């Protein structure tokens, strides 16, 4: 059975997709941008570290709506428009998560929706 996950504590979907979908014991979270849920906009004063933190807050809000949390992440996929931010992703992950860290892929892309510099999607265990 597939279950839709939706919360006002994370940015609303800006297209024809769900914030998250649960199938069996895994939560699949759609790519999150550093959008602030209340305004659905970026904080223009956010440096890349704060943008990464905002994405992790968004991912965690969706995880909580599904009855789990970001600490149970199995895999993250990180999309960056500038690979120079790679060390910043590692630093914020170490700050916001704990070992064992999730598996991860990190790729550079030419552009992201709404001009974002970073997007992250996640697979999170429910049990």
Q: How far is CA 99 from CA 74, 75, 94, 103, in A?
A: 12, 13, 8, 11
Eight-state DSSP code of residue 74 = E
Taking the C-alpha atoms of residue 68 and residue 51, their distance in angstroms, rounded to an integer, is 22
Model confidence over 84-115: pLDDT tens digits?
999 999 999 999 999 999 999 999 999 999 88
- What are the structure tokens assigned to 28, written together? 């699949």
Model confidence over 29-81: pLDDT tens digits?
999 999 999 999 987 677 899 999 999 999 999 999 999 999 999 999 999 99
Side by side, which strands form the sheet with 26-32? Answer: 2-5, 20-23, 26-32, 118-125, 73-80, 103-108
Q: Across residues 18-25, what is the average pLDDT?
A: 97
Taking the C-alpha atoms of residue 94 and residue 83, their distance in angstroms, rounded to an integer, is 18
- What are the structure tokens assigned to 10, written together? 């994370």
Annotated domain spans of the chain:
2-125
**Residue 1: what pLDDT?**
87
Pick among 3.40.50.1110, 3.30.450.40, 3.30.450.20, 3.30.1330.40: CATH of 2-125? 3.30.1330.40
């Amino acid at each position: 059975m597939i279950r839709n996950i939706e919360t006002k504590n994370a940015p609303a979907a800006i297209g024809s997709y769900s914030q998250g979908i649960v199938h069996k014991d895994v939560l699949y979270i759609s790519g999150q941008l550093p959008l602030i849920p209340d305004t659905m906009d970026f904080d223009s004063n956010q440096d890349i570290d704060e943008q990464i933190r905002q994405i992790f807050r968004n991912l965690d809000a969706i995880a909580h709506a599904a009855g789990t949390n970001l600490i149970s992440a199995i895999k993250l996929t990180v999309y960056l428009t500038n690979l120079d931010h790679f060390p910043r992703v590692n630093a914020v992950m170490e700050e916001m998560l704990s070992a064992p860290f999730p598996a991860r892929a990190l790729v550079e892309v030419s552009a992201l929706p709404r001009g974002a510099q970073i997007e992250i999607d996640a697979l999170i265990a429910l049990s």
